[in-house]
C-alpha cells in the first residue's frame, strides 16, 4: 500500500536586511510576497535602519523569499541580507507586519 506523500521539508530563517529599506514600502512588499509564497512569520523595521524578518514554511518557498528579499520592492536598494537559522515557534500565524523595535 502506498502511503501519503511525505510533507515538504520546512525551514525557518531570520533575515536582517540592510540598505535603503525603510520608507520604501519594503515591509508591505514583504508581507505580500511572503503570503503569495504561502509562508508564515513576520517583518518589522529596526531602529538601526535595518529590516528584520522571520520566515518559515516549505524550504523551497523560504529560499525563493530570501532571493526576493535581496532585490526588494522597486524603491529599495538592498546592500546585504544576513540569513541565520531560526526556530519556527514564532511563525504559527500568517505572515504579518509588526511594529518597529
C-alpha cell at 79: 546592500
Of the candidates 14, 18, 27, 44, the residue annotated as catalytic is 27
Measured between alpha carbons, how far is 33 from 56 in angstroms, rounded to an integer? 13
Of the candidates 14, 35, 44, 45, the residue annotated as catalytic is 45
Tracing cell 520592492 back to the chain, one arrives at 73
Active site residue 45: yes
Tracing cell 511563525 back to the chain, one arrives at 91
Active site residue 80: no
Q: Which residues are catalytic?
A: 27, 45
Amino acid at each position: 500500500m502506498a502511503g501519503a506523500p511525505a510533507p515538504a521539508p520546512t525551514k525557518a530563517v531570520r533575515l536582517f536586511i540592510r540598505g535603503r529599506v525603510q520608507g520604501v514600502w519594503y515591509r508591505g512588499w514583504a508581507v505580500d510576497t511572503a503570503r503569495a509564497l504561502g509562508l508564515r512569520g513576520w517583518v518589522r523595521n529596526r531602529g538601526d535602519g535595518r529590516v528584520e524578518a522571520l520566515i518559515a514554511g516549505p524550504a523551497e518557498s523560504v529560499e525563493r523569499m530570501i532571493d526576493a528579499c535581496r532585490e526588494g520592492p522597486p524603491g529599495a536598494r538592498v546592500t546585504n541580507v544576513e540569513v541565520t537559522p531560526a526556530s519556527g515557534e514564532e511563525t504559527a500565524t500568517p505572515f504579518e507586519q509588526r511594529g518597529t523595535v
